Chain A
Amino acid sequence: MTPRTWAAARDRLAFPLVAAIEVRGLERRYSDEVLAVAGIDLEVSEGEIYAFLGPNGAGKTTTVRMLVTLLQPTGGTARVAGFDVVREAPSVRRSIGVALQEAALDPLMTGRELMRLQGTLHGLPSDEGRRRGDALLERVGLSLAADRRVGTYSGGMRRRLDLATALVHDPTVLFLDEPTTGLDPVSRIAIWDEVRRLNDDGTTVFLTTQYLEEADHLADRVGIIDNGKMAAEGTPGELKSQVGIAHLEVVIAAGESAKAGEILERFGVPMPARDGRLMVGLPRGAADVAPIVRALDEAGCAVEALELVQPTLDDVFVEKTGRHLEGAADQQHPEQQPAVEEPVSG
């Protein structure tokens, strides 16, 4: 639904729609011992990209499955597009697009057949289903492969097809469960670009991810979940600012460290040196880097290396949970990670 049609639909409502997704005390218990989601609260505004970040087994997929009506909550309430996920499940299903973690595609069908079937499932007339299916295949770059069986598609092609099927009925809210897990960098960027375009068109996007970079790049707001509980929530900037300021790490030629340390102190908060690197916290961030370099140069301190280190969402995760997000060290090379499936109990 475009912003204009959303607004038109909202205008017809007898009550104001405050959030695209509104979750209060949502809980899913599998047994006395297994509490997969332990009473979370969250709210996603219309037109927002919200990233649900957490390690495997944190409760991300269980939460999504409850929000898309695939799983009944055992406690709390959730409203999606203004509808209760339990009492108004059919209306929720008409309003949402869903691309689940496994890219649930029939390998024996062709891409075009799957798009048409998806159109029929969402009640589109044949002609419109065909037209929208073809347009979406074009949009995700699968026109040439449209008549090939899905079983012959690469992982990236499957994800793009899955995304296209989720869009066939022009949903108001789009749920993407780990949309880029296991993809190569090119495919990941293609998915990110498409998610941004969709969001520009007014679609609210709720995505789960275990990639810090993905949450940081794509999301307007991030919710961090760990052991079924919300550990933190906010914009990436807000969250990072909660755990500190950017700091500068400087390697100075031997014998000049003391003098350089004094200079650095003038610009920020001194931090203990580590591995021969002088460190200083910079309240103004990058704005202080050039003056520091000039001051060091004027004082005759030879700078051998210099790095401005921003707080990361992993720092936030460590701050809130006391441990690193799984795989955080591999964020620069996510394509090397194996596809990970979160257990149902997660």
Chain B
Amino acid sequence: MSAAAAAPPLGARMAGEARVVAALGRRSVRQAFRRPQFLAPIIVFPTLFLAVNTGGAGRAVDLPQFPPVHGFLDFQLAGAMLQSTMLAGVSAAISLALDIQIGFVDRLVAAPIARASFVLGRLVATGVLGLISVLWFLTIGLIFGAHIAAGVAGFVVVLVLVTLNAIAWGTIGAALALNTGSPSVAQGVFPIVFVILFLSSAFFPEGLLLEPAKTIANWNPMSLIADGLRDPIISDLSLDKTLEGLAGIAIVASIGAILCARGVNKKLRSA
């Protein structure tokens, strides 16, 4: 074995992989800012949707069984942030599929890095975009009169849940890209995000949905995440709801991680 090819010790290898993940994460965030069409679905669309929903359906809070909230905007913020992070996952899928298409992923696979690192780099970037998203929506929410009932602790919980949700959806996006390798297919998933969200409690309380949407929403992990995310905004912090939110995120992330692993193996077998 030549000196150049000798494997570094485990500690150095771990540190090296962390540097690689950080560098690839930086590249992906930079890519999002340099390609506005990737940023628009994360910030612009959900903001417009939030404005239209809040302005047009604000009296929904008067419906019987509607949970007690300070205002409809407080209720809708969770949906907007979920929409934003799910679309961040779709954008990540498109970016990764483009990387596969132009051969950039081959550059990464031919480098002496762990196979997982290029996916982790993408997930870090999706997490950063999720963080930007939550800061944006909480800021405009507060400016336009929303309250965070659970205060600073609630703010932190929302921050963490949204960031983790972005990463979870990043795994779904990465899996989609790795298994299809097609930016068009990744882009085609865009409308499905809305279907998944509308069939959950993201935009409307589960109790007010009609069948079969109500049953589907009951089984939809996005309802768990939406309720966990909404809880600190509209009421005092509840550990149960936060754990429910984390459980929903874990379900999404697990599905994504399994499909990702399958996609990476597929890519390496048949590249």
Indicate, yes or no, whether A interacts with B: yes
Q: State which of A91, A98, A121 has its C-beta within 8 Å of the C-beta of B5.
A: A91
- Name A1-38 residues within 8 Å CB distance of B: 1, 5-6, 8-10, 12-13, 17
A118 to B107, CA, bound (A): 9
Q: B57-65, B98-106, B223-231, B243-251: which one contacts chain A? A: B98-106
Give the residue among A13, A83, A93, A165 with the most B Cβ atoms within 10 A. A93
A327 to B104, CA, bound (A): 29
Q: Which residue of the partner chain A has the closest CB to B104?
A: A104
Cβ of A145 within 8 Å of any chain B Cβ, yes or no, is no
- Nearest chain A CB to B147's CB is how many angstroms away? 40
B1-45 CB contact bits vs A (8 Å, 1 = yes)?
Answer: 111111110000000100110011001001100110000000000
Collect the chain B residues with CB atoms within 8 Å of residue A122's CB.
111-112
A113 contacts B27, CB within 8 Å? yes
B106 contacts A70, CB within 8 Å? yes
Q: Which residue of the partner chain B has the closest CB to A125?
A: B19
Q: Which residue of the partner chain B has the closest CB to A104?
A: B103
Cβ of B271 within 8 Å of any chain A Cβ, yes or no, is yes
- Nearest chain B CB to A102's CB is how many angstroms away? 4
- Nearest chain B CB to A3's CB is how many angstroms away? 13
- Nearest chain A CB to B31's CB is how many angstroms away? 5
Collect the chain A residues with CB atoms within 8 Å of residue B19's CB.
120
B27 contacts A109, CB within 8 Å? yes
A12 to B20, CA, bound (A): 30
A150-192 CB contact bits vs B (8 Å, 1 = yes)?
Answer: 0000000000000001000111100000000000000000000
A95 to B7, CA, bound (A): 11
B79-111 CB contact bits vs A (8 Å, 1 = yes)?
Answer: 000000000000000000001001110111111
B20 contacts A120, CB within 8 Å? yes
Collect the chain B residues with CB atoms within 8 Å of residue A96's CB.
110
Collect the chain B residues with CB atoms within 8 Å of residue A92's CB.
5
A81 contacts B110, CB within 8 Å? no
- Nearest chain B CB to A177's CB is how many angstroms away? 10
A344 to B270, CA, bound (A): 9
Cβ of A137 within 8 Å of any chain B Cβ, yes or no, is no
Q: Which residue of the partner chain A has the closest CB to B103?
A: A104
Q: A83-B5, A91-B5 are in contact. Are A120 and B271 (CB under 8 A)?
A: no
A72 to B113, CA, bound (A): 17
Chain B residues with a Cβ under 8 A of chain A? 1-8, 16, 19-20, 23-24, 27, 30-31, 34-35, 99, 102-104, 106-113, 268-271
Chain A residues with a Cβ under 8 A of chain B? 1, 5-6, 8-10, 12-13, 17, 65, 68-72, 81-83, 90-96, 98, 100, 102-109, 113, 116-118, 120-123, 149, 165, 169-172, 344
Extra inter-chain contacts (16) besides given A8-B3, A93-B110, CB under 8 Å:
A1-B2, A1-B4, A5-B4, A9-B2, A70-B106, A71-B271, A105-B104, A106-B27, A106-B104, A113-B27, A117-B24, A117-B27, A121-B20, A122-B112, A149-B34, A172-B5
